[in-house]
Structure 1
Amino acid sequence: MAMYDRLLSTYQLVAFQETKFVKQDSIQTNEHFICSTDSGAQCFWSDTTSPIFNERHGVGLVLSSASPFQEVRDLTSSVCTSQLKNRYLLLQAKLGDDPVFTNVVYAPDEPSERGEFFRLLPTMFAGVDMDCSIKRIVVGDFNVTLDNYLDQKLPALHHPGTGREDLLAWLDALGLMDSWRHMNPDGRDYTSPKRKNRLDYCFLTVHLLQDHLDKVCHVRDRKWHTGDHIPVEFRLQAKIVPRGRPPPWRCPTWLLDDASVQDYLRISVNNLARRIKVFPGANPGCLLDEHKRADCIFLKRRWLELRDIDDRRASVLVEAVNDAQDLYNSTPTDATFEIVEQSKLLLKTHLEDVKARNQYKRFAADLQSSERATTHFFRPPQQDCMQSPITGFRGADGLITDDPTAIATGHRQFWGQLFQSPSPDLYDRRSATYQPLRLVEYLQDTKTRLSPTYVSMMDAPLTANDFYYAISTSKNGKAPGPDGLPIEYYKVDVHSWARIFEVIYDNQLHNGQMTKFQRRAHLSLLYKSGDRTLPANYRPLTLLNHDAKLGPKILSYRLRLVLPDLIHADQSGFIKGRSIRHSLLRFQDLQDFCKTHHNDACAVMLDFAKAFDSVLWPALDLVLHHFGFGSTFRAWIKTFYHHTSVSIMLNGSPGDPFVLGAGVRQGDPLSPGLFVLFIEPMMNFLRARFSDRGILVDGSCEPHLLLAFADDCTGLLKDMEDADGFLGLVNDYSTAAGLRLNVDKTSVMPFSHRVSRSKLDNLRATSPFKVLGVTDTVKLLGILQGSTITADERFCHILLKLRARCAIWKYRARTLRGKIVLLQSIILPLLWYTASVTCFTATMLKNVDVIIRNFISGVNTDSDSASPGKFSKDWIYTCISQGGLGLTPVKEFIQAMHLKSLGDAISATCNHCAAPRWMTPALSLFSMAMGSQGAGFDILYAVVKGKWDYLPDFWFSTLRLWTDLHMSFGSSDWKAFSQTAPFWNNFNLLFGSTRRPLVKLSKNNSLLMDHDLFRQQDFVDISSSYATSGFLDTLLDVNDFSRSASKTLFIRQIIPRLNLLTFHDSPLFGPVFPPMVESARHGWRFGDQFVTDMSNKDFVHLLLEACPDPKIPNLRLRQLDIADFTPTDNMWNFKYGLDRHVLPVAADVKYRL
């Protein structure tokens, strides 16, 4: 498998000669190893067409997952004759829109057989139009030379009938040329086992040869398995990308684990610490830059010494063997033969030593890292992560150029203009402006200010303790900046670096800019979607040096503490305690609310063009000053940004640098916080002028007008006729602040399918923005939304992604437990985000269960039905302590996420004594559903069963589950809060054998409900006492009863029942919370754990405990001839503990038995 790993990680097309399979199992074994290395690889073997299996001949072709070939078909059977059997392979594929034919050939050794073999090679294929535009690739061992002098070590006369003429005729018929000879017209290099002849070729059609061939060579320094020929390596590119500047060197993290390197770096940094002095005119930043330069030189030299040391030694020995063999072939003497044997012995000894060490490493990796949640086990299973080169640029005139210089220039001008670069050659392209006077006017709508305490905290000096925190908490493995130094470099001696950076940063603040190296960055372009030739379809990620990110990280931590007090609750992006999931629930609840209150309501989904990159620094400073940030914090922002220069990374090479003049750098830890501060005044501006057009729900003092996650802002309007006015205000503020609204991607979505069609048509006719119909869908924060969208429609594309990911990871795990790890960590997480805000359906659960079972069984996950498998499906979900595989059931995990959202709402209400804003639409729906039986969180007491009007599917299923759990496991302190607990529908007050709530006992209950009496506190508020017979006699009108005795009977029956909620002799007096939120404070818990403290994992455990005891499948003990054996209670845990000390495969075999 190691050979396939090296091959498929390097090459996209690999042709094999003399596969010599002895049986069908050999093919399956090799395909398993190949797919374990690259799960997307495609394998083709001549033995499939010619199943001879005589351990002779055989050719094969493997395409890696990164291969550009599409729709690959094996045509061998349609052209194969008896003479070509097991020696020939023909594939048809598509490369873009063009057909490509790939041939793998292994010609006979016997000269007399070659002529007929070559004559039988096909030139015409049934059903294929063989025009001149077809591309062909032909590779293989042809066992014949094409030139007496250049292709043979000992020139000799050519003997007709040995196949050369027939081969040349076939090549001419297909328009093929020798690619190696094309690149090396006078070269003499030989690939045969004895290095006397060139017998291995790569033939290409003229179009491929001239326009796409980048490299072809003989690989003399590598040996693959038992091969004795010199391999031919060639590289085709869609467009030849000229080599630019060499990519910057990056220090590998393994180098920093070397003991000698660590010793050197510790001594080096201590020397730097002694050299840095603080005095007038000192420049410690220069010392830092020179120190890092010197360390980089040392690290690179050490890297050159240590990198691939075994492979480089093997290459030297292979080359020595080849040279010795060439010498012996030209001068066959005992001395030269001895040289050959000695060189082979050295190579063999080295390879055996490497093999032994690798086997030990693989054993250790298998024991410690395989089949469990480790970086090694989660390494990418496919080789499709190779970067796609940028080979074209579409200019403003619409023309596409493939000239590398023009591409680099076009990207530099585009991004330089976007970032408002002050570089001399780009200065004239600066076009973005803002209007400071209008912006200052609009900022007056923002009333929040930073408190003096927070101002002092934000302006406090950056200390060594701060830098120690920043370095030690930075994640390993992150891409470095231009200096190539990873964060692990600074972690070698965190204490010394922390003291050094305290001095460096303080000095740079006084200088007004960072050090020379810290001001440099690379701009990595991440492709999003659409036309690859348009630079607007890429996302710029700024790769800063790690030491330049430490200060911003410290300030971002401080900023995180103050943002909740400055930013309105409508913004949930990058604010501590706020969640994107809560924003989505709020949106969905508002949509459900509007379906019954505002049929013409709509959502206006704004899209700002390159929002992060368009922030103008003077405008940002105005906003920060308005919020009350001190001069030191604002000076830090200017210091970080001043004169920062970036080089665009195109095809791995940095371009000419340009200076940034705008934007909050994506990749900077401080940027998210700065951006939400910058965008917040726009939202306050809109609230001040358009708040009355928002959606007002019961229990909320402020209409819902906006919903935002960073730059994804959405307007919420109760009438779509106001959409144009709303967008006009957005444009006004955008002009003042220097932002630009993307008209093409801004859309308006009606909330209800009962929307006025005339309003919809009028808006579509007058607005330049996209107006959706009632059946259209759009993504909001990554979740499909629409007027009529269903849960199954949301999950449909998720299921496709699940199946695709199963196919990619199909071959990684070799054990059942390994497959469970992949399901939990890699595959099923695709489902959780959508499922966290969507009510699951039976269809979805069935489909996911089929995918899980088929993945574990190792069969096709695209199937609509589950494979029976080798064991009962119950073992998949049975817990490990009972002998199962322990996969968390999908249904319970989704339910736990839903309960966690309800728990978050309860927790936030308890902490802030008011319902969180994202929950107020849901509380309004709860009140509507309960009617006169309660309000808001009172639904926590309700027996939620049957059909409830106004209650959305998400909350209905969640509250029904809440009811069931509390009736089984709940132990809330409701008695302590009985005075404020609702009594009409309360699962603590159920009567009769049918366990009915109080509201179901008498039709006269509505007479009390009409007076809004649904808790004892309501009686206390009116009469200063609990409910009494006298009070009810006065309150109720006898005319509302059929006769006076009915009134008396009703009072006599209802008073004892209400008294069940009175646990004190007299009522408690004092301030109470609003009815909408009071019940959230009633100490809800399950067992000993309060709901406010429960995590998603805790809810999962609760749900699994609530499930009926799972049916544990019977062990097949009779088949093992141990039918009398009875497992002990602790047996499975004990065995599982022992399995940690054996190879996972061995444990899996034992488990399967």
Structure 2
Amino acid sequence: MYFMLIQHQQWVLVHLHHRTKLPLMEQVNIQNMSDIKITSWNVRGLRRLIKLKQVINRIKQLKSKIIFLQETHLTMSDVKLVKNRWPGQVVHASYNNYARGVLILIHRTVPFQMIKTIQDPAGRYVIAQGNILSFAVNLVSIYGPNENNPKFFEDLFLTISTLQGSYIIGGDFNCTLNQTIDRSTGSDIYKTQTRQVINQYISDINLVEVWREQNPDKIEFSCQSGIHKSRSRIDYFLVSRELLSRIKKCQYDSIVISDHAAISLNVHIEKFTNNPINWRFQARWLQNPDFVKFVGEKIDNYFELNTDQTSASVRWEGFKAYIRGEILSFTSTKAKKQKKQIEILEKQIKLLELDLTTGDDQLKQSELLRLRTEYNKLSSDAAARNLLWLKQSYYDQGEKAGKLLAWRIKKMQSDRAINSIINSAGNLTVDPSEINDSFREFYQTLYKSECPQVSVEQETFLDQLQFPTLAEDSKKELDRDLTTEEISQAIKNINSGKAPGPDGFTSEFYKAFQEKLTIPLFKMYKEAYQNGTLPPTLRQAMITLILKPGKPPAERSSFRPISLMGVDTKILCKVLAKRLDPYISQLVHNDQNGFVPKRQGFHNIRRVFNIIYEKFDAKDTALLSLDARQAFDRIEWPYLFNVLPRFGFGTNFLKWIQILYTGPTASILTNNIVSKPITLERSTRQGCPLSPMLFILAIEPLAMAIRTHTDLSGIRIGEQQHRLALYADGLIVFLTKLSTSIPNLMQQIELFGQFSGYTVNDSKSSILFLNEDERLKSIIQTPFINAYEGFVYLGIKITPDVKTTVATNYDPLIREVKATLDRWMTMPISIIGRINMIKMNVLPRFLYLFQSLPLPPPKLFFDEVNNIFNAFIWNNKKSRLRLRLLYLPYERGGLKLPNLKWYYWSAQLRSAMFYFSTEIPPA
């Protein structure tokens, strides 16, 4: 890689050596292992957004992972301001007015499993009891009373003493513990009883005041009182004595932003790794004209100096490493300049604070005041700039039904931390490294091929099927050479706001510099086609895990793997997917409604209900809902490449597919830990634009075999026999003559699975007998669940009696929507924002029911939902406008509130339209 760069411009080599972290997924962090920094700080109010941003920026500078904050002045509803900005858990106790208030912030990289919380209704303390890995701990944030109040501390310590585990107690105690040296005025004669109680309980429950333990004779103050012209040390950490050996250092920082210093300590936790987050391009820099100009010039310079004399693939790989270094250089220079200013001011402030511990010098006091003012100005200016950008984004799109509003809603939901998992030995582990290793082992096994060669059984199975094939002109269209126009269009159409692949470059970066990157991408793709393989970073992916709804979180199979591929790989996949899109419906039967243009999932659902209605209580008749085990992840590549030519794909298009599936690797991302790469030998990767269409082509031969098998009896209605309905891997089979049909069906599926990788999860598959007596006493034994009350298909509850279908589906959804809107009720969002939340999150849920169920909603449905909407829009206060006015468009004085009755009518007309507007109506 380096020879090309040396012969053109030697200084580029420096950047590449500096960024030897190119394959980010292979990094294993060995720094900061086992240490968690905990900080306690009285912030004197967080209600102003600039102040909140200042405090969060300060926490980032301190690199703290667990933070105790006091005097937040936040009410219960205000705490959402913090939750929306803090990446992790937030535990709080608030008072009923803008006073007191305490918080505990736990960063998402800390594997803290919450057991319970205790919140003081007076807003003076909050306790989070839980585990960090196998370490049981109670985190306590305290804001002590200003007056002499020993009973408060008696009650608090008695509460704490009942909790199992070690204690880390931090906060503003509003009381000195050493009356002779903890106050600048000399002996402290105030709060004697409170001091005695605190010291007594420190002794009784075996606590230690960490800073004083490490600095027995040192004089230092944590609070500056401008009113009383005095300084005192009233902010402490009290920890269980057995933790003392784990604590490396405890220190006060400068008194800035607030009139209290933050106090921090580092706790050693075995097996805890504080992993760095992989680099990711920040789209906000594209709002900076200087940055856009700088990067644009660097791109031009790179490709002018690194010409076609070298490999296009090597040139592209070198470009990504080079431009990442330049971006880091630009952004870090800006950040370092401000950081250096702040660090200099901090040092000066700290030195003056220490000088003033021995006496009051008015000149030094004035200089200290000046430095703190300068520090606060720098800090607040930075916060204001960030908020200005954020507010502009919110002004542009924040309360529209877009990504920022979705982000605000999702921030209220839990994050993706995986706190424990059952490993392959059947043991529960909480160690993040062991969790990551366990998932790596799981996916290495899952993605290892079980059928590496084309078998005789495979050929026999496929040869007996009649495959639809592409027309010659369609084949030529798919086989034509790649063009720069296609690449440019794919960049424009690729979704924004998505997580990047391992290289960190987002789609926003490609869109911003599309004109400069299209030609280099084109040349790289062209060379990759000639070589039969993509460059190394285009073959890499990061697998992130999403817990499937309703699945046990300790099971590895409960998570859906999403491949985060590089945008440069996605662009190529997008081009190929767009080419294939117009022709996929010619190759896939109309009973497959997943990922095919002009086909919808609700076609299958309506078809199921129509069959149940027509054959109500029919004997020897059943619906079989089959759950495929990790269907996308198990597709065997030798089988896939045997099937695709049978559909008539040409040599060039097939070669592109083979290139994409040559030598891919993936690393597993859990709890911010990235595993070593594994080699993929099978699967159609979830997250790739092309994968859905490849999957439905791979599953189509099974559907063909079921449709044409002579010993499988479907359900006949009129002239048509119904045998199956598919939505991607969601398969329902309609059967009669069950004693022969079911064994023959299972034989076909088992044979197909031997070479394709497709397997059925019997314990999650359901059989619904349409005859009630047969549901009570099955006429045939199967390994499937007897769905006496029905089963769920594509999110809809299928019931054996259509009379119960409406209530079964609508009633739970109404309750769910009401609970959701009640939970969002207190969010600080305008009426327009609330209506857009309804449009974005609530309307799609009801619209899906309207489209899927061929039956009208409950009689009082519209009135009930309108009442729920009214309460949410007006925040449980009296409505000021009637809903019929809110339904109107903006130009007529309305706010475009969705009228559910109109949407219902529209959905019914649209469903009918599909049957009359296509040559082949939905199955």
When the two structures are superposed, what TM-score results if normalisation uses the length of structure 1? 0.66
Q: How far did 1:233 drift?
A: 6.1
| Secondary structure of the corresponding residue to residue 559 of structure 1 | helix
Q: How far did 1:797 drift?
A: 2.6
* Counterpart mapping for 1:779-858 below 5 A: 779-788=792-801, 789-812=804-827, 814-838=829-853, 839-858=856-875
| Secondary structure of the corresponding residue to residue 530 of structure 1 | coil
Q: How far did 1:704 drift?
A: 1.3
Partner Cα distance (1:631, 1:71) in 2: 61
Question: Are the counterparts in 2 of residues 94 and 100 from structure 1 also a CA contact under 8 Å?
Answer: yes
Show the counterpart of 1:1048: none
Comparing both structures, which one devotes a greater share of its residues to strand?
Answer: 2
Q: How far did 1:250 drift?
A: 0.8
Show the counterpart of 2:495: 475
2:641 pairs with 1:626: no
Show the counterpart of 1:1080: none
Q: After superposing the two structures, state which structure 1 stretch, 824-833 or 158-167, moved more.
A: 158-167
Q: After superposing the two structures, state which structure 1 stretch, 807-816 or 569-578, moved more.
A: 807-816
Of the three residues 604, 608, 624, the one matched with 2:628 is: 608
2:468 pairs with 1:455: no
Show the counterpart of 2:234: 199
Of the three residues 705, 712, 715, the one matched with 2:733 is: 715
Q: How far did 1:785 drift?
A: 1.4
Partner Cα distance (1:215, 1:845) in 2: 63
Q: How far did 1:190 drift?
A: 4.4
Partner Cα distance (2:353, 2:733) in 1: 77
2:567 pairs with 1:546: yes
* Counterpart mapping for 1:84-123 below 5 A: 88-89=124-125, 104-108=142-146, 113=148, 116-117=150-151, 120-121=154-155
Show the counterpart of 1:902: 912
Q: How far did 1:779 drift?
A: 1.4
Question: Are the counterparts in 2 of residues 464 and 499 from structure 1 also a CA contact under 8 Å?
Answer: yes
Show the counterpart of 1:527: 547
Q: How far did 1:308 drift?
A: 9.0
Partner Cα distance (1:383, 1:186) in 2: 46
Partner Cα distance (1:45, 1:33) in 2: 13
| 1:660-683 deviation per Cα after TM superposition (whole angstroms, max 9, x unaligned) | 111112111111111111110111
Show the counterpart of 1:986: none
Show the counterpart of 2:592: 571
Partner Cα distance (1:792, 1:308) in 2: 61
Bigger radius of gyration: 1
Task: Say if 1:218 and 1:881 are closer, same or farther in 2 by CA, change over 3 A.
Answer: farther
* Counterpart mapping for 1:440-839 below 5 A: 440-443=459-462, 444-528=464-548, 529-595=550-616, 598-690=618-710, 693-700=713-720, 703-721=721-739, 722-750=741-769, 752=770, 754-757=772-775, 760-763=777-780, 766-773=781-788, 775=789, 777-788=790-801, 789-812=804-827, 814-838=829-853, 839=856
| Secondary structure of the corresponding residue to residue 133 of structure 1 | coil
Partner Cα distance (1:186, 1:778) in 2: 72
Task: Say if 1:301 and 1:183 are closer, same or farther in 2 by CA, change over 3 A.
Answer: farther
Partner Cα distance (2:561, 2:819) in 1: 28
| 1:314-357 deviation per Cα after TM superposition (whole angstroms, max 9, x unaligned) | 56545543443333334643542342133134235445655776
2:329 pairs with 1:301: yes
The letter of the residue matching 1:295 is I
The letter of the residue matching 2:774 is S
Aligned-residue Cα RMSD (Å) equals 4.3
Q: How far did 1:547 drift?
A: 0.9
Task: Say if 1:535 and 1:433 are closer, same or farther in 2 by CA, change over 3 A.
Answer: farther
Show the counterpart of 1:256: 286
Task: Say if 1:236 and 1:697 are closer, same or farther in 2 by CA, change over 3 A.
Answer: farther
Q: How far did 1:684 drift?
A: 0.5
When the two structures are superposed, what TM-score results if normalisation uses the length of structure 2? 0.81
Show the counterpart of 1:1015: none
Task: Say if 1:855 and 1:179 are closer, same or farther in 2 by CA, change over 3 A.
Answer: farther
Q: How far did 1:438 drift?
A: 1.3
Which consecutive unaligned segments of at least 5 residues does structure 1 have? 77-85, 421-429, 860-866, 919-1153
Partner Cα distance (1:852, 1:388) in 2: 30
| Secondary structure of the corresponding residue to residue 661 of structure 1 | coil
Question: Are the counterparts in 2 of residues 328 and 340 from structure 1 also a CA contact under 8 Å?
Answer: no
Partner Cα distance (1:90, 1:493) in 2: 49
| 1:1058-1108 deviation per Cα after TM superposition (whole angstroms, max 9, x unaligned) | xxxxxxxxxxxxxxxxxxxxxxxxxxxxxxxxxxxxxxxxxxxxxxxxxxx
| Secondary structure of the corresponding residue to residue 756 of structure 1 | helix
Aligned length: 853
Question: Are the counterparts in 2 of residues 247 and 654 from structure 1 also a CA contact under 8 Å?
Answer: no
Partner Cα distance (2:563, 2:635) in 1: 15
Q: How far did 1:290 drift?
A: 0.8
Which consecutive unaligned segments of at least 5 residues does structure 2 have? 1-47
Question: Are the counterparts in 1 of residues 724 and 733 from structure 2 also a CA contact under 8 Å?
Answer: yes
Q: How far did 1:471 drift?
A: 1.4
The letter of the residue matching 1:716 is F
* Counterpart mapping for 1:222-233 below 5 A: 223=256, 227-232=258-263
The letter of the residue matching 2:426 is G
The letter of the residue matching 1:916 is P
Partner Cα distance (1:6, 1:294) in 2: 33
Task: Say if 1:34 and 1:373 are closer, same or farther in 2 by CA, change over 3 A.
Answer: same
Question: Are the counterparts in 2 of residues 555 and 670 from structure 1 also a CA contact under 8 Å?
Answer: yes
Partner Cα distance (2:392, 2:428) in 1: 53
Task: Say if 1:754 and 1:355 are closer, same or farther in 2 by CA, change over 3 A.
Answer: closer
| 1:462-512 deviation per Cα after TM superposition (whole angstroms, max 9, x unaligned) | 111221111122122222111111123223332342222222112111212
Question: Are the counterparts in 2 of residues 273 and 496 from structure 1 also a CA contact under 8 Å?
Answer: no
Show the counterpart of 1:1064: none
Partner Cα distance (1:275, 1:88) in 2: 64
The structure with higher relative contact order (CA 8 Å, sep 6+) is: 2
Q: How far did 1:293 drift?
A: 0.7
Task: Say if 1:562 and 1:286 are closer, same or farther in 2 by CA, change over 3 A.
Answer: same
The letter of the residue matching 2:484 is A
2:186 pairs with 1:168: no
| 1:337-385 deviation per Cα after TM superposition (whole angstroms, max 9, x unaligned) | 3421331342354456557767866775675555444544444146456
Task: Say if 1:646 and 1:190 are closer, same or farther in 2 by CA, change over 3 A.
Answer: farther
| Secondary structure of the corresponding residue to residue 193 of structure 1 | strand
